[in-house]
Structure 1
Amino acid sequence: MAFTLITAKNRHANLVINDHSIRFVELLRSHPLTIHKWREHDLPPGIISGGKIADYETLSNILEECIEDWKIHKRDLRFLVPDSLVIIRKISVPKDIQDDEMQGYLYLEMGSSIHLPFEDPVFDYFPLKTTEKTKEILLFAAPEKNVLEYANLFATLKLNPVAADISPLSLYRLYDYLGDTSEKEILFTVQFDITSVTIAIFEGTVPYVMRQFPLPFESNKWEIRRGETANEYVYNGNENEMLLQIEDIQKEMNKLMDFYKYSLNNGKKEITLILLNGDHPMLPFIFRELKENSTVPVEILTLKGNARIKTASIPPGHFLALGLALKEVK
């Protein structure tokens, strides 16, 4: 197999920003997949809250420092829209709406026949199936104000935003690249981070359901051990409080699996695999708990032992940024 080099001119910066960190991944080559570098900068509480920028000036200053240190000035940029901002909804539209008319139709129907919990959305859609009278589509939407706030911030700092994505798709993209997917699989992905948990249900390559659950984050109970390329997060609070948080999330997961099986599919479809990833320091414990308490097989996402990826030492906290970097890789 020939080496496919990614030159400095076409290397994309891939950024994932959440309430507690900024993470970055850059590829060196796509075949074999080789990661050039990955970096992380922690964010103090209050700069981003629930995915929304709360302190624009401080975030801008930190990002400017990151861009300088990571040498990504003037790069094309891919970024993730924060999970808390994203809505996924299955809707039906008239069958006679043509593909080239769909975007305009959806735009006109926002706020009338299509109701979202925010005004002025940015959106995309994925076609599902056509019946005798309707077309079913999956609508992805987020509030334009918040998405543009990120995009404009990046542009002000001399980055060029060229693509926005959502975290379940980035996670699935990496899972698919590793060659573990099955056409008949109904995948339940769990991104378990220290400030939130995002759950999605995939039928094939399509995320039909997505939910995010915030986790309480008290900075005085966490120690951040800063490394050259990634940070380590250590919880020093009451362990029972953390165990209760994990137990609550497991209950929400079970509710969502039952909702998918019984409410959405009348008992005819059910989850075939739970896929776990995240930056939470108790992820190995969470994995064991899920395996012991679930009738569904559970896997933790790993790069080790996979021949398709040359650099396997990148930490799981950066897997979303790596999945984002795979967006154009075939």
Structure 2
Amino acid sequence: MGLFSKGRINIVITNRFLRYTYPKKNKKGTLAFGEEKLPEGVIKDGKIDKDVAFSKIINKLVKKHKWKGKNLYFCIPDDTVVIRQMQISAALSKEEANAYVRNQIGVSIHLPFADPSIAIEFLSKEQENQNILLFAYPKEKITAFQAVFKEAGLKSVAVDLTSLSVYRYYYQQRDKEKENVLHIHWNQDALELTAYRDHKAIFIRYMKIEALDEVDSEQAKQVITEYTREITRIIDFYQYSITKGEANINLLLLTGDFPFLKLVREELKNVTTIPLHNIREELPIKFVDALGLALKPEVRKGEQ
């Protein structure tokens, strides 16, 4: 684990759990980790719904692990993220492109929420146009988390998406180059499908799942059968609609905290011939998102 950044806290938030990693004292390059189950309704649809309860949980962790004053990197639920491929003038610098996109929101760029937090990534460049990816997320959700963390004595440095963090971990340990990857992040209450082309997230689909605390394997199989149909549909959608027949998914990446991931893996092998990546587990697989977040490069002040 020597590649992990030292001296910072990494927290991943879902609607049901909070997972974290942080450097072990006097053990260079190694991480301590943990998980807190969140009381029902504390986080709802990726948003803090019970401020006092969430604050108590964070303050308890800060005190227990002596995190006060530490830099914090955190992941928020991907339920409302928007990813769009766009074209802008090739003459624009990255800074100018950011300003241009911000000015076009509400004019030529329409989003399902107001006051977004945005980020852009440059893709390929044509003669007159620059292809970009736009990532947009409701700013109010982010600032609500930042306020709680600040009050607890943590210094929020960067925010990431869970899907990007998992892919970062996969990318660091991949053994073969795959250009079209479908990340299947299957949690107890949600299924998130993110398609990557040339290591860039170009499509995301988020689906709520009824969370069942107590479920047997037969009930799980019914749920798995239902949602693997949706996965195969997205695989076809990627080939014929997103890439216009130019590419097809050639690797599946399965992660999440769903307790029956082994059954999901078996069902995927039954319904598709696409290979599944085997993640080398340094921690239980549900912590892959937190491990990937810990691999995020250090961010300088003013960056995200």
Answer whether TM exceeds 0.5 for this pair: yes
Q: CA deviation at 1:4?
A: 8.2
Q: Secondary structure at the match of 1:266?
A: coil
Cα distance in 1 for residues equivalent to 2:82 and 2:16: 22
From 276, 280, 290, the equivalent of 1:321 is 290
Q: Secondary structure at the match of 1:299?
A: coil
Name 1:89's counterpart in structure 2.
84
Cα distance in 2 for residues equivalent to 1:38 and 1:140: 29
Q: CA deviation at 1:64?
A: 1.0
**TM-superposition CA deviations, 1:265-284 (whole Å, max 9, x none):** 22220011101111111011
From 22, 26, 43, the equivalent of 1:26 is 22
Is 1:295 aligned to residue 291 of structure 2? no
TM-score by length of 2: 0.91
Name 2:221's counterpart in structure 1.
243
Q: 1:71 corresponds to which letter in structure 2?
A: K
**CA contact under 8 A between 1:14 and 1:79: conserved in structure 2?**
yes
After superposition, the Cα gap between the structure-2 partners of 1:249 and 1:4, relative to the gap in structure 1 and judged at 3 Å, is closer
Name 1:254's counterpart in structure 2.
232
Is 1:191 aligned to residue 185 of structure 2? yes
Cα distance in 2 for residues equivalent to 1:248 and 1:111: 37
After superposition, the Cα gap between the structure-2 partners of 1:5 and 1:252, relative to the gap in structure 1 and judged at 3 Å, is closer
Q: 2:19 corresponds to which letter in structure 1?
A: R
**CA contact under 8 A between 1:125 and 1:137: conserved in structure 2?**
yes
**CA contact under 8 A between 2:4 and 2:294: conserved in structure 1?**
no
Q: 1:268 corresponds to which letter in structure 2?
A: E
After superposition, the Cα gap between the structure-2 partners of 1:68 and 1:136, relative to the gap in structure 1 and judged at 3 Å, is same
Gaps (5+ residues) in structure 2? Answer: 299-304
Is 1:269 aligned to residue 247 of structure 2? yes
Q: 1:22 corresponds to which letter in structure 2?
A: L
Is 1:128 aligned to residue 106 of structure 2? no
Is 1:13 aligned to residue 36 of structure 2? no
Name 1:137's counterpart in structure 2.
132
Name 1:43's counterpart in structure 2.
38
**TM-superposition CA deviations, 1:118-155 (whole Å, max 9, x none):** 01100100011222342210001101111111111111
Cα distance in 1 for residues equivalent to 2:189 and 2:3: 37
Cα distance in 2 for residues equivalent to 1:96 and 1:79: 34
Q: CA deviation at 1:328?
A: 2.2
Cα distance in 1 for residues equivalent to 2:183 and 2:238: 13
From 209, 226, 229, the equivalent of 1:215 is 209
Q: CA deviation at 1:34?
A: 4.2
More deviation, 73-82/98-107: 98-107
Name 1:227's counterpart in structure 2.
none
**CA contact under 8 A between 1:187 and 1:203: conserved in structure 2?**
yes
Q: CA deviation at 1:63?
A: 1.3
Name 1:76's counterpart in structure 2.
71
Q: Secondary structure at the match of 1:83?
A: coil
Gaps (5+ residues) in structure 1? Answer: 223-235, 304-311
Q: CA deviation at 1:244?
A: 2.6
Is 1:168 aligned to residue 163 of structure 2? yes
Name 1:180's counterpart in structure 2.
175
From 58, 66, 87, the equivalent of 1:63 is 58
For the aligned residue pairs, the C-alpha RMSD in angstroms reads 2.2
Q: 1:103 corresponds to which letter in structure 2?
A: N
Q: 2:240 corresponds to which letter in structure 1?
A: Y
Name 2:301's counterpart in structure 1.
none
**CA contact under 8 A between 1:13 and 1:26: conserved in structure 2?**
yes
After superposition, the Cα gap between the structure-2 partners of 1:61 and 1:274, relative to the gap in structure 1 and judged at 3 Å, is same
Cα distance in 1 for residues equivalent to 2:259 and 2:102: 42
**TM-superposition CA deviations, 1:91-136 (whole Å, max 9, x none):** 1223333333111111100011111110110010001122234221
Q: 1:185 corresponds to which letter in structure 2?
A: E
Q: 2:182 corresponds to which letter in structure 1?
A: F
Is 1:206 aligned to residue 200 of structure 2? yes
Name 2:302's counterpart in structure 1.
none
Q: 1:108 corresponds to which letter in structure 2?
A: N
Query: What is the aligned residue count?
Result: 296
Q: How many percent of aligned residue pairs carry the same amino acid?
A: 28
Q: Secondary structure at the match of 2:30?
A: strand
**CA contact under 8 A between 2:180 and 2:196: conserved in structure 1?**
yes
Cα distance in 2 for residues equivalent to 1:165 and 1:130: 26
**CA contact under 8 A between 1:191 and 1:199: conserved in structure 2?**
yes
More deviation, 112-121/239-248: 239-248
